[in-house]
Amino acid sequence: MTSDTPEPLRRPSLPELPVSAVLPDVAAALAENGLAVLSAPPGAGKTTLVPLFLLDATWRGEAGRILLLEPRRLAARAAAARMASLLGEPVGATVGTRMRLDSRISARTRIEVVTEGVFARMILDDPELKGVAAVLFDEFHERSLDADLGLALALDCREALRPDLRLLVMSATLDVAGVAALLGEPPVIESHGRSFPVEIAHQDRRPDERIEDAVTRTILSALESQEGSILVFLPGQAEILRVAERLDGRLAPDVAVTPLYGALGQSEQDAAIRPAPSGRRKVVLATSIAETSITIDGVRIVIDSGLQRLPVFEPATGITRLETVRVSRASADQRAGRAGRTQAGVAIRLWHSGQTAALPAFTPPEILSSDLSRLVLDLAEWGVSDPSTLSFLDPPPAPSWAEARALLQRIGALDGEGRMTARGRAMRALALPPRLAAMVAGAAEDGYGLSASRLAVLLTEQGLGGPAIDLDERLSRWRNERGARASAASGLAERMAQQAGATRDTAAAPGAGVLLLDAFPDRIALARGKTGAFVMANGRGAELPETERLARAPMLVIADLTGKAAGQRILAAAAISRAEIEASRPELITKGEEVFFDRAAKAVRARRVVRIGAAVLEEVPLPRPQGPAVAMALAEGLRQIGLSALPFSKEALHLRERLDFLFRTLGDPWPAVDDAALLDRLEDWFVPFQSETTSIDAVRPGALSEGLASLVPPDLQRRMGELAPTHFEAPTGQRHPIHYDGEEPTLSIRVQELYGLTRHPTIGGGRRPLLLELLSPAHRPIQTTRDLPGFWAGSWKDVRAEMRGRYPKHPWPEDPAAAQPTTRVKPRGT
């Protein structure tokens, strides 16, 4: 939208809500400190009233804009509509919205309601935030990755470029202390009270009851016993559809059921939050999307399943999967607060009241469990390669950061030092996840950037083109769709293609599978075994239901999947052929001879192989392998099956036990020899001694002893017998083995052989006493001790009395410390 000359702003007449009492305090804190934290319970009115009140702040000036950040488009649209209605204006005048597919801004706009992802791009593109007077982070407790990034960048901007920039962090359920510490302890303003009281009720779900059945039962009961509309919180779309199916035909004609989740179009979402017509009721089945910043008029009953679905990124697989988990206490409070927005209400929680205390305090922040590739790329644009130089409430986890950086280097977005390349800048300009940005940039170079842009939009807009797994099918359906959302998505794809320098396709566009190669080369998947089972180029398995058309494809490129590494389920993919890969990305197919470990045979084999990553296209066996690679392959096999497969002799095992004792007692430079340490150092002690060995069964026990001994530095080998002797020489001259296989070195010896000893035997250079297992003449344990002199002086008296009666032919002196050691019985007649 555009307009002519800006009109002077007028102070709006604001309604009285709980937050009204602290609005002057918020304005004063921002005027004096520039930073503030506002904690206000659900229904307090902070989202609507704070930005409008700040319009009159002198520090804003005549044209300074206030940015209000919202976690979702639904919340952003609702907040803008509410503020605009209070001003008696349409959205796009004083109050506007800036979102990915729906921006309504004019020259008159002074309050921009923006989604958190859009703000992150705004500040990266304009680090000074020219014309922006304040940034308000609403519902910050949700801790999205974009919100954390936006706040870190805004704080950096304020410190280095814009000390006049005002920042306000707001939430209904906020870790106030943590946020305040991050911001340097600014004023913390708290608004107390809710618009209307909410009664909390609990209905414990039976252990064997499905969540859909429990929710359906509770909805039907609430409709009979309560008045007003109902908002139901469920973990995801699947549960929403199942509850709707169970309610079908069981409700009165005046009750409507409306779903509310992210994959719905804008019109469907808006219909869900629209108040029910007079004389009617509605049941809104929602995910966490309805937790914050929206008011559904007429809702006075909330039913909370107590569950939510969160994304969890696994750096080892590079895949984000969804997990269903218990909600946090903060989320439960947010949900309950939805019942008291317009009148007194009730929140029914489907768990026992005593379980609430066991819930986590807050929902884990996204930064701890997300794919960080976009964050790494964005920070590279900011000039930051080390995230510790920015103010993050929770620093990015090192494994996820390293995986993201490695991915960006593989697709050419970063150089070896982590700096952004020209390709990376082109990718970042596309406002896409890095993999999809690489796809569009590569396709633009090949002449079909528009087709790739359409596929990228399809993959980032839930539900566009229908729910099919086959992306070619979804693209086809989208082309035939008629509607505002489909049209807006097409416009976005066209703008994206223009940014990539491809206003139209100049070459015949290939299928979705070929387009995906630049984005997901590690997820090229070959059919294996049963129908629907595939192995990807990254070595992981993935599956499709046998009823899916793609389940019978010989080869796929997978764009989206979920589940754990052992059993991943394909959510979106496209078919591809080997010929298409050879024509488009021939470098992905490699040929050569290789030596490998055959786990079934526990032996090293050789083969001539054609592969895509870890997925084998063809292989031909070769004769008996030879050379240094054989021992290395054998070592890799050991890492797969474990050290227990090796034929360690008693001598080798005893050597390991002695070395383990020395490492635990003395530390470096004595080597660690536990399984993990030995597997990590196979190249040092195993590989050099297996030059002619081609199978585990052929490993010589003597070679294992030699290898273990080689771990001991030469200057320490002579001291090993002194510090960890194999035997103890008793006063009788007899040698007895020392056992190192327990928690501490142990010597089992007949007590008579120790007569005359006045000091306890030690090893390890005197650091460790031997655990003495004292034996009777029949070699049965009498007692254990770590203090022989103390034993002689103490409990020996009782032991002696018992042993004299049991073994009268053996000597049992009153003072064993002064007696002669012996291995014999008493002479006749004594």
Say if residue 214 is in the same domain as residue 328: yes
Same domain for 632 and 575, yes or no, is: no
Report the distance separating Cα 544 and Cα 470, nearest Å: 11
- Residues 537-570 have pLDDT tens digits of 988 899 999 999 999 999 999 998 877 665 688 9
Is 407 contained in some domain?
no
| Domain presence at residue 409 | no
Q: Which residue has the higher pLDDT, 337 or 753?
A: 753
Question: Looking at the structure, do residues 684 and 753 belong to the same domain, yes or no?
Answer: no
Whether 401 is covered by a domain: the verdict is no
pTM of the model: 0.69
The answer, yes or no, to whether residue 535 has pLDDT greater than 90, is: yes
Q: Which domain holds residue 642?
A: 589-724
Give tens-digit pLDDT for 388-442.
999 999 999 998 899 899 989 988 899 888 888 888 888 888 878 889 999 999 8
- The pLDDT, as a whole number, for residue 3 is 42
Q: Quick one: pLDDT at residue 101?
A: 64
Q: With a cut of 50, say whether residue 8 has pLDDT above it.
A: no
Domain end position, chosen among 168, 190, 212: 190
Give the CA distances from residue 437 to residues 377, 381, 429, 762, 764, in Å, rounded to whole numbers and listed in that order: 11, 15, 9, 67, 61
Q: Is residue 148 part of a domain?
A: yes
Mean pLDDT of 729-741: 93
Residues 719, 655, single domain; the answer is yes
pLDDT for res 4:
42
**Window from 10-19, 644-653, 655-664 with minimum mean pLDDT:** 10-19
Q: Could you tell me how many helices (H) and strands (E) the chain has, helices first?
A: 28, 30
- 664 and 752 part of one domain: no
74 touches 99 (CB < 8 A): no
Q: In sequence order, what are the residues at sequence separation of 6 or more whose Cβ sits closer than 8 angstroms to the Cβ of residue 571?
A: 469, 560, 561, 562
Final residue in a domain of this structure, among 680, 695, 724: 724
User: 708-739 as b/e, with b when 16 or more CB fall inside 10 Å?
Assistant: bebbbeeeeeeebeebbbeebebebeeeeebb
Q: What is the DSSP string of 377-398?
A: HHHHHHT-S-GGGS--SSPPPH
Distances (CA, A) of 171 to 139, 142, 191, 748: 4, 9, 11, 68
Q: Is the pLDDT of residue 827 over 80?
A: no
565-579, 586-600, 668-682: least confident range: 565-579
User: Is residue 387 included in any domain, yes or no?
Assistant: no
In sequence order, what are the residues at sequence separation of 6 or more whose Cβ sits closer than 8 angstroms to the Cβ of residue 162? 128, 129
Q: The tokens of 575 are what?
A: 């078919």
Other CB atoms closer than 10 Å to residue 163's CB: what's the count?
A: 9
Same domain as 744, residue 692: no
Q: Is the pLDDT of residue 828 over 70?
A: no
Q: Same domain for 81 and 156?
A: yes
Contacts of residue 213, Cβ cutoff 8 Å, sequence gap at least 6: 246
pLDDT at 817: 92
Last residue of a domain, one of 707, 724, 741: 724
Report the distance separating Cα 146 and Cα 153, nearest Å: 10
Q: pLDDT band for position 318 (50/70/90)?
A: low
Q: Per-residue pLDDT averaged across 450-463, rounded?
A: 89
Separation between Cα atoms, residue 172 and residue 336, nearest integer Å: 12
Q: What is the mean pLDDT of the chain?
A: 89
- C-alpha radius of gyration, the chain, whole number: 36
pLDDT tier at 268, thresholds 50, 70, 90: confident
Same structural domain for residues 141 and 126?
yes
Cα(21)–Cα(17) distance, integer angstroms: 8
- Phi, psi for 533 (deg, rounded to 5): -100, 135
Nearest to 21 by CA among 49, 54, 1: 49
Q: Which amino acid makes up residue 397?
A: P
* Average pLDDT for 631-646: 93
The pairing of strands 568-575 and 541-543 is parallel
The structure tokens listed for 790 are 């103390």
- Compute the average pLDDT of residues 71-76: 87
Quote the CA–CA distance of 208 and 51 in Å, as a whole number: 48
Q: Do the domain assignments include residue 813? A: yes
Q: Does residue 9 register a pLDDT over 80?
A: no
- Looking at the structure, tell me whether residues 614 and 701 fall in a common domain: yes
Residue 176 sits in the same domain as residue 254: no
- Name the region of 552 (left: φ>0; alpha: ψ -120 to 50; beta: rest): alpha
Indicate the range of 198-202, 457-461, 468-472, 650-654 predicted with least confidence.
Answer: 457-461
Whether the Cβ atoms of residue 713 and residue 662 lie closer than 8 Å to each other:
no
List the one residue out of 447, 577, 459, 442 whose CA is nearest residue 509: 447
Residue 685: the pLDDT is 95
Looking up residue 238, the CATH number of its domain turns out to be 3.40.50.300
Confidence at 830, pLDDT banded by 50, 70, 90: low
Identify which has the larger pLDDT, 646 or 484. 646
395 belongs to a structural domain: no
Sign of CA dihedral 430, 435, 438, 443: negative
- What local confidence, expressed as pLDDT, does residue 811 receive? 92
Q: Is residue 612 part of a domain?
A: yes
User: ∠ at Cα 270 (264, 273), nearest 5°?
Assistant: 110
Tell me, yes or no, whether 113 and 101 share the same domain: yes
Any idea which residue has 């304040």 for tokens?
Answer: 134
Q: Are residues 31 and 144 in the same domain?
A: yes
Please tell me the predicted confidence (pLDDT) of residue 25: 94
> What's residue 533's pLDDT?
94
Number of compact structural domains in the chain? 5
What is the dihedral sign for C-alpha 696, 698, 701, 703?
Answer: negative
